[in-house]
């Protein structure tokens, strides 16, 4: 009997760990975003955005609302100054519902220009929503850290 109870308890603990909530699933999207950015994977980063996403990149002069324009933004940003890098540092998560999560905080993007590595700390907000096709970025905003 003790062996059965131990087995059941062990199985239950594995199941509890395997179940991710909205916060964990949204953070997985942000993790995929930083990996795609670091790998200069334009296709990988663009597919994380919903078709109706609202986008303000650091260099955006207008609100971007079309997937093809998000692609153009990242082609210009990621296919130059390589190797690139991105990390999300200090951040907070607001669970707005079971299907919408906002993540905001500080990030650090890096690149190489004229053979020298540069780093730019910024303020970033992701709003990630669960859609029929899974969790996607529906709003993104990044701005440079003021001096």
Listing DSSP states for 44-92 in one string gives: HHHTTEEEEEEEE-TT-SS-B-SHHHHHHHHHHHHSSSSSPEEEEEEEE
Q: Are strands 134-144 and 49-56 parallel, antiparallel or unpaired?
A: parallel
- How deeply is 63 buried, as exposed, middle or buried, from its count of CB atoms within 10 A (0-12, 13-18, 19+)? exposed
Bond prior to 83 in cis (omega within 30° of 0) = yes
| CA atoms lying within 13 Å on the CB side of residue 64 | 25
What is the third-level CATH fold of 21-144?
A: Nuclear Transport Factor 2; Chain: A, (3.10.450)
Q: Assign 10 a pLDDT band (cuts: 50, 70, 90).
A: very low
* Mean pLDDT, the chain, integer: 90
pLDDT reported for residue 20: 85
Diameter of the chain by CA atoms?
69
Sorted by where each begins, the domain ranges of the chain are 21-144
| Residue 15 in this model has a pLDDT that exceeds 60 | no
Question: Taking the model in full, what pTM does it have?
Answer: 0.85
pLDDT digits (tens, 9 = 90+) for 112-144: 999 999 999 999 999 999 999 999 999 999 999
Residues across the chain:
147
**For 60-66, what is the mean pLDDT?**
96
């Amino acid at each position: 009997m003790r062996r059965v109870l131990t087995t059941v308890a062990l199985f239950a603990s594995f199941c509890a760990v395997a179940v991710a909530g909205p916060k964990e699933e949204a953070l997985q999207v942000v993790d995929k975003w930083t990996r795609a950015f670091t790998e200069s994977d334009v296709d990988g980063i663009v597919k994380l955005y919903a078709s109706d996403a609202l986008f303000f990149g650091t260099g955006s002069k207008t609100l971007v609302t079309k997937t093809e324009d998000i692609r153009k933004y990242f082609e210009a940003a990621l296919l130059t100054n390589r190797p690139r890098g991105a990390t999300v540092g200090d951040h907070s998560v607001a669970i707005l519902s079971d299907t919408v999560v906002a993540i905001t905080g500080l990030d650090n993007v890096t690149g190489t220009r004229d053979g020298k590595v540069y780093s730019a700390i910024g303020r970033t907000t992701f709003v990630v929503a669960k859609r029929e096709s899974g969790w996607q970025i529906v709003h993104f905003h990044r701005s440079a850290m003021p001096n």
